A and B are shown apart, each in its own frame.
Chain A
């Protein structure tokens, strides 16, 4: 599997390099084409309401890694299949109604899926629904469920204090918001600072509302100040809470050259609390100031190849030794089960699984994405490859993918994922070692 992943990765890299030297040489067949250049604005006349939707069918084939410790933790020895299949039908509906200075916006998602474990199941979610009041061009007040996507990182967002974590497998996917009351005040000026924007946020946390954010009822608050100065975007943000970790952060983004952008995010989390488990299952608590940051760049070549590279320091993550201890404890638990059918230790390891099994659970990561627009003159065809490299244990995941839109509003995608790593490494011990996803998406 490692060799296959490396071969596919090299193939994709070769495509990007080949494209560099590829010359476009098409015959002009358009001389007799009759082109209608009539444009009636009535076709796009504004209505007070609008509704859009997209539907996506997706088939996933996963390859289990029976030797992986997280596989053993989840299934013990009770799963014999090498493959798993999942069929997903995803419908997203987005609508808005606007009247004078008031706008109601909503985005709803329904996922109907099938796999061997859960059979047919349905998940519904209100991703966003909020009322927006805009008394002037400078001021807007929003109340409801809304996504506050702060930060400049493509893959990681350490300063997105009021947002859910991005899915590293699909960083552009929509997120579910949190219920909040927020405002946006924008002021443009002629001095050194061209624009300043202030975004205060109030977020109630209770058992019924935003319970994922914190353990107890409270009203968390925070904000973001955006400045545009010297052709640079800069944000300062903070979160203050009784029960969550108080945090401050900043981000920036700037084009050093027309095709070369640099960006960064940083966040300091006060009194970050972490539970660490050792190889025998003993736990200890530690509390410290966690400093998370990323530095990234984006480069567009003359051949329309985009490179995104980010280094991410996860101050809230585990060290290589701490992570290895956790995996060793799972290994002991599995051995205990094989020897005595006792699930005591394996069950205990599951209790602490959430922070350890989450994506990017360790300290240092590199993210690289290379995508090529319209290679070999195939318009609307985009091959891309993403690599996430865990610098602490040298394990990595590579995701070669292609997407193609042969006709307007219709996209076909093929994505593969390979997880590579030695014994007791993050990506070497995940439940599956490879994945193939075929998707078809239609917008209307």
Chain B
């Protein structure tokens, strides 16, 4: 009887701890730990086919605030100069040949592979999702996130967080039907300087693309003060000039 009472008390204590936690606050902290408020970075995207064929893309990106990100492809030569812009749920692609920005959607992929545009042009999770449920686990927390708008690529997301570092180590992305669309694995935590310590590799796989794998490798994640004007259609063909 005494044992049962102790177990009940402990269970209640753990539950109380979870209730006391604000999932949305944790999500905001995770966002800030993943990247500074305003910053630049280089990324290499690697798509691997089931037969082992590999395609690589290198991008330079700038992000400001919760929901503005602009990127330009630096390689391969066939993609060089293509740029993307995202402001909230609006996304555009600029192709030098076409010479004007075209609207694209979060579910498309400018690079092919498992990552779609919303993964490549990732804005803060807290800008797109509300935390509906939080659970404490041995490793940290599990946040159950629901999209704020219909236009968000994944209806629900389950984020597994390491509570020591307040960084995700796995994210599961689900469609509105409840079907698992993809898994994102956050690996190899690296100190990028200026207090930015975050995973340097994101790996993804998807039950919809069996055998395909994609990676994003991060480099030179640096805090940078940016003006709003560079996040506009008229600036898309000049994003490369912002590299220092």
Contact = CB atoms under 8 A, between A and B. Distances in A.
Interface of A: 24-30, 33, 35, 37-41, 43-44, 46, 52, 54, 94, 98, 103, 134, 137-138, 140, 147, 149-151, 154, 172-175, 184, 186-188, 194-195, 197, 199, 226, 228, 231, 233, 253-255, 257-259, 261, 263, 298, 300, 302, 304, 373-374, 379-380, 405, 408-409, 411, 443-444
20 contacts: A29-B211, A30-B211, A30-B213, A35-B54, A35-B215, A41-B219, A52-B80, A52-B81, A98-B241, A137-B230, A188-B231, A188-B232, A197-B232, A228-B232, A255-B89, A255-B105, A255-B151, A258-B106, A304-B108, A380-B55
A254 to B, nearest CB: 8
Nearest to B231: A188
A43 B231 CA distance: 26
Given A37-B217, A150-B100, A259 B211 contact: no
The listed residue with most A CB atoms (<10 A of its CB), out of B90, B220, B230, is: B90
A295 B41 CA distance: 39
Nearest to B41: A41
Contact of A231 (B77, B90, B211, B213): B90
B88 A231 contact: yes
Interface string B189-230: 000000000000100000011111101011110000001111
B88 to A, nearest CB: 7
A374 B58 contact: no
Given A103-B241, A137-B230, A29 B51 contact: yes
A186 to B, nearest CB: 4
Contact of B151 (A52, A257, A411): A257
Contacts of B188: 37
A27 B78 contact: no
B99 A187 contact: no
Nearest to A32: B52
B29 interface: no
B219 A37 contact: no
B243 A46 contact: yes
Contacts of B235: 137, 186
Interface stretch (B19-27, B42-50, B129-137, B156-164): B42-50
Contact of B42 (A24, A35, A39, A187): A39
- Most chain B CB neighbours (cut-off 10 Å) among A150, A304, A379: A379
A253 B103 contact: yes
A407 B88 CA distance: 34
A188 B64 CA distance: 13
Contacts of A226: 233-234
B211 A373 contact: no
B201 to A, nearest CB: 6
Contacts of A261: 103, 105
Contact of A30 (B48, B60, B153, B238): B48
Given A44-B75, A52-B77, A379 B211 contact: no
Given A35-B48, A174-B97, A257-B150, A134 B105 contact: no
Interface in B107-142: 107-108, 112
B95 interface: yes
A384 to B, nearest CB: 15
B77 A39 contact: no
Given A259-B105, A300-B108, 17 more contacts: A25-B210, A28-B211, A29-B50, A29-B51, A30-B48, A43-B58, A44-B42, A46-B243, A52-B81, A54-B78, A94-B96, A134-B241, A186-B235, A197-B234, A199-B234, A255-B105, A258-B107
The 8 closest A-B pairs by CB, nearest first: A188-B228, A26-B211, A149-B99, A443-B78, A443-B77, A39-B217, A197-B234, A26-B50
A63 B233 CA distance: 43
Nearest to B56: A408
Contacts of A37: 46, 188, 201, 215, 217
Contacts of A174: 96-97, 99
B173 interface: no
B74 interface: yes
B150 A374 contact: no
A315 B58 CA distance: 45
Contact of B112 (A173, A175, A228, A379): A379
A41 B230 CA distance: 23
A150 B98 CA distance: 11
A172 B102 CA distance: 12
A151 B102 CA distance: 10
Contacts of B44: 39
A188 B226 CA distance: 12
Contact of B212 (A26, A228, A380): A26
A236 to B, nearest CB: 14
A298 B108 CA distance: 13
Contacts of A254: 103
A443 B78 CA distance: 5
B92 to A, nearest CB: 8
A147 B99 contact: yes
Contacts of B230: 137
